[in-house]
Structure 1
Amino acid sequence: MIWCIQRKPFHNTFGKAHNNIFLLVGIKIIFVLECYMKKWASSDAFEN
């Protein structure tokens, strides 16, 4: 906590960048999972 307070400008910049990266990765993972689930569901329905 003290380290974060002492280096607040760096912490804020890093925090924003980290949040953006996490958000982009999260969106990408959700997108890939959604596409995978749609393909799996459609192929499963097609096979049945």
Structure 2
Amino acid sequence: MVGRMVNDDKIGGVILSCTELPLAFNGLQLPVETLDAMEIHIQKLVKMIECK
């Protein structure tokens, strides 16, 4: 599906916005960058805590 979207829709990345999607895509090499929304949120929270 991602390969089709890269070819047909010219996407540049995929946002893994459900908590299960990073697990489903774990170990797969995709032709575009993937962004794990949960990981991004966790990193931001950790930075906020460290600044206090």
TM-score w.r.t. length of structure 2: 0.35
- Select the structure that is richer in helix: 1
Greater share of residues in strand: 2
Name the structure, 1 or 2, with higher relative contact order (CA <8 Å, separation 6+).
2
